[in-house]
Structure formats: structure tokens, C-alpha cells
A and B are shown apart, each in its own frame.
Chain A
């Protein structure tokens, strides 16, 4: 089956028009997720900020002085990272479900079931494969650069730069070839690690064109959203009210800055939800067209 790249690129807008409540659900999910993370992380973040201020005040900080900062950072990262991965899987699966199974619209298509587990595992495995390939390529380039530097063989620098460009092109190629993985996993309800490769064979350019269109649309949505956010900031005075409140408790900060924080949070969550639909829905639409599935 063939598919129209320009038609698929607008699936996010069609989804938003067909089910505007879905976008509100996703925005709400963003708000809940970020509010939860901020509430849980505010303590360690404040600790990190004061630790950084302490380090700034030192004239000759030693490596051991960074230990406390590093420990706080990694302990924060250790539980924010898995939470983000689960949240990402829920949202990614929701977008694919919204395009591929439009009837299952409850809770903005968000679930926490086997689809999400499969999406989490497949995206994690593909991200690791992608990361390993990039790291290998980067290591080879780094080795050549190191050799060029040590031996004074200046001619090798051209090879290093060309290698870097080839690696970036390889990254784009891999991303396009992996891009249908989530829709396949959700549509076929199975762990599909390499099926995206087969499904995208011979369709690299149309899918890349569709991705470029979706990215530009997302950029436009972001730009328009930023204008609204900036206008709201102008009306509420913005987050400038937070300046001078470094020592304040969370409840004091919230009391002083709640209109600005609320406006900023709601608008950014809405923009993120819209961008999510605009940028991810086209890939599910492309899969649906390539597979010859019905739209409803």
C-alpha cells in the first residue's frame, strides 16, 4: 500500500478537531505529572541550588566538594528517569491509540496496561540500539580525532568532520526507519522491535518529508503558543515575582506566584499536548495507510 505524506502529516490536527477533549486530557496529564515531579523534587532541587551557591562561593573547589551535589543529582535522576519513561510510554501509546483505535476514547486514550508495557520496552530497546550505534560511531570518530591530534596528521581532521556528518545522516536514517515502531506495537498488540524497518523499506523519503512537515507544524504551534504564553506573562507579571524568593518555602512561593505559575503551567501543558498530537499522530496515520487499515 502507498500513503500520502502530506495527508498523514496533518493527522494531528484532524485528531484535535475530531476529539478536542483528548488534547485537554493530555494537557491535564502533563500538569499532574509536572506538578507531582515538582512537589517531590522541590526539596532535592533546593538542596542542589544551595550546594551550587556554596560551590560558587569557594575560591578553589576540590573534586570531593562536588560529591554532595553529584549524589543529590543522581538520586533525583534515579527516580525521575523511570517515571518519565512510564509517562512517555502512556502518552505515546495514547497518541497511537487515538489514531488507530479512535473508538477507545475514554481518559484521552490513556491507559496503563500491556500496550504501555510493550511501548515502554520497545522504545527503550530501540533507544539503546540507537544509542549504541551512535556511541560506536562517535567512538571511532573520537579515536580518529585523538590520533589526528596526537600524531599531528592534520589531514585526518577532514575525515573526522565528514565522519561526524555521516553519523548525523545515519541518525536521521535510523530515526525514520524506527519511526513506525510505536504504531505497530499498539496496532498489533505485540513486541515488534524490527518490524518498523520492514514497513518503512523503500519509503524513506515520503516518511522523512512527512516528519519534516509535522516538525514544522509543531514549530508553528509552539510559536503561536509562545505568543499567548508571553501575553499572559505580560498580564500576570511573569515569573519575575519569584526573584528574591530563593530562600522562601514552597507554600510561600505558591502564595506569591500562583497566578503566574498557573498561567504558565496551563498554557505550556496545552502547547505540549497540541505539539504531541501534531508531531506523533502522523506516524500512526502513515502506518494505518501503509497497512491499508480503515480510518474508523
Chain B
């Protein structure tokens, strides 16, 4: 395999290109990203409403144990379901974005580029494996930092200790970034080669570590800017809408008050229209966090192995 570099600009550009070519899919992906948070709320809501809020807020004796047991059982189920849905959704989203960047032909003929098959399983499995591996390395790094701290503490001056802690924090952060950069191509490489081959993504990242660190930092910065800008705009629109609807400026302070407030102000439901642009923004941040890595895999792989991006789609579905 001939080794060549990859362009960070092209990788980020592939993310924006996908957003521009598939705006409807981006919205659906954003909507999908909310599912892991929404379904558990639906499970918890009945138990949440039945909680003895009056007793709890008044602090008048032990709360009703049956309502609490129901809440605890539902909350356990909601937590587990949330984990499973996160895996499912991020597996589906990752596979969809990776496929469309790596080989758009594989992404077409699927509704919004989404599917439920081996690609999705590969992405979910790679995320779990990398999460566990990065966590293990982080724990090891923390232990080494503690060991080094214990070794250097007695020989350093007060100023030297502060500097030592600072240097250690920077070194740990850099080490985590370097490790992440070395493994970040594994999930898209799984989809590219359609196999669970950890070695492919690892080898593709060899010699590209600093460039991948730079790209990761650029992605984080970009996502932060997008989210801040979106929150600023949507916050301003939301405030304007709130005032235009003539809603009270006295906000509810407890869940019971919140229910009363919503029941007595049905116009508050109009604020939910803000979820539509918010979903699109979430979808966009999802794409920007995933597409550049798939682009890097495509750029680093010989052109005869993976197709170049095709012409813009006219039909998203």
C-alpha cells in the first residue's frame, strides 16, 4: 500500500460537502441523535408524575415507597435502554456518514443513508472497544502521573510543584490526544474494508499522528463554534417567541409548578418549533465529528480500493 498524506482541509470540506448535499438527512440524523434521551424520558415520565412531590418538597415524612420503587425500576430500565439506544443510534449514524464519505454508491438506495446491518454493528463494536481502550490508557496515565508526582514532590520547590502539576496535565492531555489520533481511523476503516480489522485503521494512522491531532482539534473547535452560534441564534429567537406569545416571565420552580404552568399556558408548545433547527444543528455537529475521519481513511487508501466521492446527490433518499 503506497503511503501518502491526507489534507485536513479536504477532510473538513468533505464534512461540509455532505451537510450541503444532504440537508434533509442531516435533520433526520439530528432527530435520531435525540432518541436516546427522549425514549428514557417517556419511560420515566409516568413514575415521575406519580411521585409524591408535595411530601418531598414539604419534607413531611417518608415518601410513598411503591411510587419510589416504581421510579427506581423504571429509571434502571431507562438507563439501560439509553445505553443501548446510544450504541444503536451512533452505530447507525457513524455507518451512514462513513459510507457516504467513503463510497457514496454504498450510501444511496438507503433512506437518509441509514441502515441496520453489519456496518452498523462494526461501528458500534469499534466505539465500545476504543472507549474501553482509551479509558484503560487514561487510568494508566493518571497512575503514572501520580507516581511521577510522588517521586518529584519532595525535590521540587513550591513554584516547581505548581509548574510540575501544570506540565503533567498538559503532558497527559497531549498523550490522550496522541493515542486518540492513533486509533481514530479504526471505526471508518472497519466500514471501508467491511471487516473487523483493527490493524487496518491502526496502520493507516501510522505516520499521520500529528496531522490527525491537528484535525481532531480543528473538529472540536468547529463543533464548539457551531453549537455556540446556534445556541445564540436559537436563544434569541426563543426569547423573541416567548415575548411574542405573551408568556409569563415568572418561571416554574418545581416539577409540580411546571405541569401547572404548561397546563395553564398551552401556547408554550409553540416553543417546540425550535427543536427543528436544533435537530439540524445536532445532525451537522454529528457529521462534522465523523466525516473528516472517513475522508482521511479514503485519502490514505489507494484510489483503486475505495471510490472517490461521487457527484452531489439530487435525491437524498
A→B interface (CB under 8 Å) = 5-6, 9, 154-162, 164-165, 205, 209, 212-213, 216-217, 219-220, 223-224, 226-227, 230-231, 233-234, 237-238, 240
- Which of B69, B128, B151 has a CB less than 8 Å from the CB of A216? B128
Report the minimal beta-carbon distance from B193 to chain A, rounded to whole angstroms.
10
- Which of B83, B125, B129, B147 has a CB less than 8 Å from the CB of A223? B83
Residues of B contacting A230 in the complex (Cβ-Cβ under 8 angstroms) = 73, 76-77, 80
Report the minimal beta-carbon distance from B64 to chain A, rounded to whole angstroms.
14
Residues of B contacting A237 in the complex (Cβ-Cβ under 8 angstroms) = 69
Is the Cβ of B77 less than 8 Å from the Cβ of A234?
yes
- Which of B80, B144, B154 has a CB less than 8 Å from the CB of A165? B144
Report the minimal beta-carbon distance from B36 to chain A, rounded to whole angstroms.
13
**Complex Cα gap A160–B148 (Å):** 11
Report the minimal beta-carbon distance from A208 to chain B, rounded to whole angstroms.
9
B263 at the interface (CB under 8 A from A): no
Binary A-proximity of B149-186 (CB < 8 A = 1, otherwise 0): 01101100000000000000000000000000000000
B6 at the interface (CB under 8 A from A): no
Report the minimal beta-carbon distance from A6 to chain B, rounded to whole angstroms.
4
**Complex Cα gap A237–B153 (Å):** 55
Residues of A contacting B77 in the complex (Cβ-Cβ under 8 angstroms) = 227, 230-231, 233-234
**Complex Cα gap A156–B147 (Å):** 8
Q: Give the nearest-CB partner of A210 in chain B.
A: B196
A–B complex contacts, Cβ < 8 Å, 24 sampled: A5-B197, A6-B196, A158-B144, A159-B147, A161-B143, A165-B143, A205-B199, A213-B125, A216-B125, A216-B128, A216-B129, A216-B132, A220-B124, A220-B125, A223-B80, A223-B87, A224-B84, A227-B80, A227-B81, A230-B73, A230-B80, A233-B73, A234-B73, A234-B74
Residues of A contacting B74 in the complex (Cβ-Cβ under 8 angstroms) = 234
The B interface, classified by DSSP as helix, strand, loop or mixed, is: helix
Binary A-proximity of B190-220 (CB < 8 A = 1, otherwise 0): 0000011111000000000000000000000
Residues of A contacting B153 in the complex (Cβ-Cβ under 8 angstroms) = 154
- Which of B69, B73, B132, B144 has a CB less than 8 Å from the CB of A162? B144
Q: Give the nearest-CB partner of B85 in chain A.
A: A227
**Complex Cα gap A2–B71 (Å):** 53
Binary A-proximity of B63-93 (CB < 8 A = 1, otherwise 0): 0000001000110110011011001000000
B146 at the interface (CB under 8 A from A): yes
B140 at the interface (CB under 8 A from A): yes
Report the minimal beta-carbon distance from A290 to chain B, rounded to whole angstroms.
18
**Complex Cα gap A162–B144 (Å):** 7
Residues of A contacting B196 in the complex (Cβ-Cβ under 8 angstroms) = 5-6, 9, 209, 213
Q: Give the nearest-CB partner of B125 in chain A.
A: A216
Is the Cβ of B73 less than 8 Å from the Cβ of A158?
no
Q: Give the nearest-CB partner of B153 in chain A.
A: A154
**Complex Cα gap A152–B312 (Å):** 68
**Complex Cα gap A237–B143 (Å):** 43
Is the Cβ of B80 less than 8 Å from the Cβ of A226?
yes
- Which of A9, A157, A220 has a CB less than 8 Å from the CB of B147? A157
**Complex Cα gap A219–B125 (Å):** 10
**Complex Cα gap A161–B144 (Å):** 6
Residues of B contacting A224 in the complex (Cβ-Cβ under 8 angstroms) = 84
**Complex Cα gap A220–B87 (Å):** 9
Report the minimal beta-carbon distance from B164 to chain A, rounded to whole angstroms.
13
Report the minimal beta-carbon distance from A159 to chain B, rounded to whole angstroms.
8
Given A209-B198, A216-B125, verify A240-B69 contact (CB < 8 Å): yes
Report the minimal beta-carbon distance from B70 to chain A, rounded to whole angstroms.
8
Residues of B contacting A226 in the complex (Cβ-Cβ under 8 angstroms) = 80
**Complex Cα gap A157–B148 (Å):** 8
Is the Cβ of A154 less than 8 Å from the Cβ of B151?
yes
Q: Give the nearest-CB partner of B154 in chain A.
A: A154
Report the minimal beta-carbon distance from A59 to chain B, rounded to whole angstroms.
27
Report the minimal beta-carbon distance from B121 to chain A, rounded to whole angstroms.
9
Contact residues of B between 232 and 260, Cβ < 8 Å to A: none
Q: Give the nearest-CB partner of B141 in chain A.
A: A165
Given A216-B125, A216-B128, verify A161-B80 contact (CB < 8 Å): no
Residues of B contacting A5 in the complex (Cβ-Cβ under 8 angstroms) = 196-197
**Complex Cα gap A217–B154 (Å):** 47
**Complex Cα gap A240–B68 (Å):** 11
Q: Give the nearest-CB partner of A158 in chain B.
A: B147
Residues of A contacting B197 in the complex (Cβ-Cβ under 8 angstroms) = 5-6
Residues of A contacting B143 in the complex (Cβ-Cβ under 8 angstroms) = 161, 164-165
